[in-house]
Amino acid sequence: MALTGTVLRAQGGVYEIETEEGTVEASLRGRLKREERTGDKVVVGDRVELGRGSGSGAEAWTIEKVHDRHSILARKAPGKAPRPKVIVANVDQVLIVFAAANPAPHLRMLDRFLVIAEAGELRPLIVVNKTDVEGEEAARALFAPYERAGYRVIYTAAKRRVGIDALRDAICGQVSALAGPSGVGKSSLLNEVQPGLGLRVSAVSEAVNKGRHTTVTAQLIPLECGGYVADTPGLREVGLWEVDNDQLHFYFPEFAPFLGTCRYTSSCTHIHEPGCAIRAAVDEGAIGFGRYDSYRRMMLGVDDE
Ligand code: GDP
Ligand code: ZN
């Protein structure tokens, strides 16, 4: 008998897998086990084929086969390890949550998350919470450059249940990786979408952060309406290291209409060259100054964390 499922958790060689017949535990079949050197062979989010094992518990099922992944989130492996480490597979979108106020949004951090998502070909969805503090109009003004760049922004106030239906619609049936600083209201929002969900997600984060083994693991938390929230501690460490400087301008969608019109088309870094169309667009207000400043900082490796 074969069974297909999704890996929710992986720890110590035991994989928790959601299947049509409920959640089961499984271990790796001999051949897969021998190939499992990097820990990347089977990760959270993978779709797998299960076969009947010989024993009980985690031995009752074995993972026979891993389906191809349509996306991965990877982080730089610690130390000298040559390859990035995959932390979650098959993510559809990155849910990037900031507060409009309390704390004031760290827009340079948002720009980094957006570049990570763009480079990984993961759809970003920006959620701006706590619009009740200074009003939705002020929040919309602050995030207007992102809407102009083509990003979808959902404005919410978890405390007043504003924007919750839009958020629920956006995450149901999807695998969403959650990102954003603490204190912006991620747990509050998730609890409004589904009672208890935020609590589960923050329990995962804490358990992982306090774990003695510093391996960054992820977990998928099922949504009642279909889909999952992927809590991926360490998302901050994901991504930027793999973005080449000469690719960076492609990851700012609002630059697109101007690329190719700089005087030195093929070599312009948009930092100091004369006749740069990107900088001209910034001067004219067609590209937000803050967004360009983030680009410049990433190009020059200026860290503002
Ligand atoms: P997390 O760390 O991102 O999960 O944030 P929490 O959900 O724990 O929320 C942090 C704090 O912000 C808590 O005190 C919440 O009550 C508060 N909070 C959450 N959402 C809102 C909101 O929409 N408006 C206001 N004013 N406060 C909120
Ligand atoms: Zn240029």
For residues 113 and 12, membership in a common domain is answered with: no
Which of the pair, 199 or 233, is modelled with greater confidence?
A: 199
Q: 72 C-alpha vs ligand 1 centroid, how far in Å?
A: 29
Based on the domain organization, do 39 and 82 belong to the same domain? Answer: no
**Domain-terminating residue out of 231, 259, 276:** 231
Whether 236 maps to a domain, the answer reads: no
The answer to whether residues 136 and 213 belong to one domain is yes
Q: The domain spanning residue 187 has which CATH number?
A: 3.40.50.300
- CATH (domain of 62): 2.40.50.140
Q: Which residue has the higher pLDDT, 114 or 53?
A: 114
Arithmetic mean of pLDDT, 281-297:
96
- Residue 97 confidence (pLDDT): 95
Cis? peptide before 181, omega within 30° of 0: no
Residue 212: which pLDDT band, with cuts at 50, 70 and 90?
Answer: very low
pLDDT at 186 over 90: yes
In one-letter notation, the amino acid at residue 16 is: E
Q: Is the CB of 185 under 6 A from ligand 1?
A: yes
Query: Is residue 213 over pLDDT 50?
Result: no
How far, in Å, CA of 120 to CA of 115, rounded? Answer: 8
Q: Which range is most confident: 32-36, 152-156, 301-305?
A: 152-156
What's the pLDDT at 74? 80
Q: Which two tokens stand for residue 99?
A: 């507060």
Q: For residue 150, tell me if it sits in a domain.
A: yes
What local confidence, expressed as pLDDT, does residue 304 receive? 57
How large is the greatest C-alpha to C-alpha distance in the chain, in angstroms?
Answer: 70
Convert the pLDDT of each residue in 235-287 to its tens digit. Answer: 655 555 668 899 999 999 999 999 999 999 989 999 999 999 999 999 999 99
Question: Final residue of a domain: which of 66, 95, 111?
Answer: 66
What 3 state SS string does 127-154 have?
A: EEECHHHHCHHHHHHHHHHHHHCCCEEE
pLDDT of residue 218: 83
| One domain for residues 76 and 222 | yes
pLDDT digits (tens, 9 = 90+) for 151-163: 999 999 999 999 9
Same domain for 35 and 144: no
What is the pLDDT at residue 280? 98
Q: Say yes or no: 155 and 175 in one domain.
A: yes
Going from the Cα of 252 to the center of ligand 1, the distance in angstroms, rounded, reads 29
Give the residue from 176, 203, 231 where a domain finishes.
231
- 220 is a domain residue: yes
Residue whose CA is at the smallest distance from ligand 1 atom 5: 185
Q: Is 266 a member of any domain?
A: yes
User: Is 240 within the bounds of a domain?
Assistant: no
pLDDT of residue 57: 75
Please, which residues have CB within 8 angstroms of residue 208's CB and are 6 or more apart in sequence? Answer: 216, 217, 233
**What residues have a C-beta under 5 A from ligand 2, the ion?**
262, 268, 270, 276, 278
Helix axes 107-119, 289-300, angle to 10 degrees: 70
Question: Ligand 1 centre from 183 Cα, in Å?
Answer: 6
Residue 14 falls inside a structural domain: yes
CATH number at residue 251: 1.10.40.50
Q: In which domain, by residue range, is 10 found?
A: 2-66
Verify that 263 and 121 share a domain, yes or no. Answer: no
Average pLDDT over every residue of 183-191: 95
Mean per-residue pLDDT, 6-32: 90
pLDDT digit string, tens, across residues 110-156: 998 999 889 888 999 999 999 999 999 999 999 999 999 999 999 99
How confident is the model over 167-180, as pLDDT tens digits? Answer: 999 999 999 999 88
| Distance between CA atoms of residues 296 and 303, nearest Å | 11
Indicate the Cα dihedral angle 254, 274, 108, 123, nearest 10°. 30
Give domain status of residue 39, yes or no.
yes
Round to whole Å and give the CA distance between 285 and 274.
18
pLDDT attached to residue 11: 86
What mean pLDDT is predicted for residues 277-304? 93
How far is ligand 1, taken at its centre, from the CA of residue 226, in Å? 25
Q: What is the pLDDT averaged over residues 206-217?
A: 55
Bridge-partner residues for 23, per DSSP? 18
Please work out whether the CB of residue 186 comes within 6 Å of at least one atom of ligand 1. Answer: yes
- pTM score of the predicted model: 0.90
CA distance 63 to 5: 10
The DSSP H or E segment spanning 86 is strand 85-89
Does 87 share its domain with 44? no
Q: Do 47 and 110 share a domain, yes or no?
A: no
* Total domain count, the chain: 3
Question: Residue of the nearest CA to atom 15 in ligand 1?
Answer: 185
- Looking at the structure, tell me whether residues 79 and 59 fall in a common domain: no
The answer to whether position 239 is within a domain reads no
Tell the residue number behind the tokens 């990851």, with chain if given.
Answer: 251
Cβ 269 under 6 angstroms from ligand 1: no
Tokens 């299947």 belong to residue: 19
The answer, yes or no, to whether any atom of ligand 1 lies below 6 A from the CB of 153, is no
Co-location of 84 and 226 in the same domain: yes
DSSP 8-state assignment for residue 157? B
Q: Are residues 221 and 87 part of one domain?
A: yes
In angstroms, the CA 115 to CA 146 distance is 13
Per-residue pLDDT tens over the stretch 72-82: 888 776 666 67
Please name the helix (run of DSSP H) or strand (run of DSSP E) that holds residue 220, with its range, or none: strand 219-222
Average pLDDT of the chain is 88
Please identify which residue in the block is written with the tokens 């839009």. 166
